[in-house]
Structure 1
Amino acid sequence: MALFNVRVYGLLINERNEILISDEQEYGYQFTKFPGGGLELGEGLIDGLKREFQEECLAEIEVLSHFYTTGFYVKSAFNDSQIISVYYMVRSISPLNLNFKNKVFDFDGEGDVLQSFRWIPLSELNVEHMTFPIDQHVVKLLKQQ
């Protein structure tokens, strides 16, 4: 049986032309990605993205437009599923009250699952900032715009 893992991510650019990225530690790995995550059964893409931002960033977002959907095969780094990721341009409706970091993997607290957020100027964003191949592709697309 084929397993598909549908993921949805938000590209949030602030008024200083910086994009929000998430540093995370889970499953014994550290990785950097865009905010978002896995779709839950019975959930639409936009509802899933809004839920992810509420859970991760404690923020309400508005989806502005579709940006990219995975166009190539990617196997999950964590299991045997095939990853399909959908990216949307989003904006925050409520203020982001997060403890923004300047250093990578600068987590507060202890535990198996940790997360911190950073703003990166779009002019400085490059593929090396991202861990996963689809995010790296999206960085290239963002740089072309």
Structure 2
Amino acid sequence: MYFNVRVYGLLITDIEEVLISDEKTLNVSFTKFPGGGLEHGEGLIDALKREFMEECQLEIDIVRHIYTTDFYEKSSFNDSQIISIYYQVEAKSPLLFDIKTSPFDFSLEKQQEKMEVFRFIPIDSLQEMDLTFKTDKMAWRHFKKLIL
């Protein structure tokens, strides 16, 4: 068994919406916060900034740490143990990526092995059950406690 370190960002807008990612990989669909895996030799902050640049063409700043996985979580895709770190982030540049309004709206996307689209959901509307992975659900629970 090996560890799989992941880092994710909760991008909150001025109008109190949060960015989420709808993805489809290998015929599995899931909803999560933007982010991904650490690459060898990379720090958490650099990895998160790289992930936002790769996925959203967006420069970000870190606002604060939200949550780090504090329970055992096996990957849904292999035998690794997932360790996820979540940060609240803010945009440093304008949002230039396509924003959808419906879940899993891959209608204009080229059918690929991995597809990803983004949408904003009002903070008051996003529920834990809207997120696929337990680590995202826990991070969202911690974030909601921070803002209450």
Structure 1 CA distance for aligned equivalents of residues 137 and 64 of structure 2: 20
Counterpart of 2:136 in structure 1 is 135
Q: CA deviation at 1:115?
A: 0.4
Counterpart of 1:102 in structure 2 is 101
Question: Which amino acid counterpart does residue 122 of structure 2 have in structure 1?
Answer: P
Counterpart of 2:52 in structure 1 is 53
Q: CA deviation at 1:102?
A: 1.0
Question: Which amino acid counterpart does residue 77 of structure 1 have in structure 2?
Answer: S
Seq. identity, %: 53
Q: CA deviation at 1:112?
A: 1.1
In the TM superposition, what whole-angstrom CA distance separates every residue of 1:79-130 from its partner, at most 9, and x where no partner exists? 0000000001110001111111111110122111100001000000101110
Counterpart of 2:7 in structure 1 is 8
Structure 2 CA distance for aligned equivalents of residues 66 and 88 of structure 1: 4
Structure 2 CA distance for aligned equivalents of residues 16 and 65 of structure 1: 19
Structure 1 CA distance for aligned equivalents of residues 115 and 144 of structure 2: 29
Task: Note the residue ranges of structure 2 that are not aligned, 5 or more in a row.
Answer: none
In the TM superposition, what whole-angstrom CA distance separates every residue of 1:30-50 from its partner, at most 9, and x where no partner exists? 111000000000000000000
Counterpart of 1:114 in structure 2 is 115
Structure 2 CA distance for aligned equivalents of residues 92 and 48 of structure 1: 16
Number of residue-to-residue matches in the alignment? 144
Structure 1 CA distance for aligned equivalents of residues 33 and 96 of structure 2: 17
**What secondary structure sits across from 2:100 in the alignment?**
coil
Q: Normalising to structure 2: TM-score of the pair?
A: 0.94
CA contact (8 A) 2:66 2:142 kept: no
Structure 1 CA distance for aligned equivalents of residues 17 and 117 of structure 2: 16
CA contact (8 A) 2:58 2:93 kept: yes
Q: CA deviation at 1:142?
A: 2.3
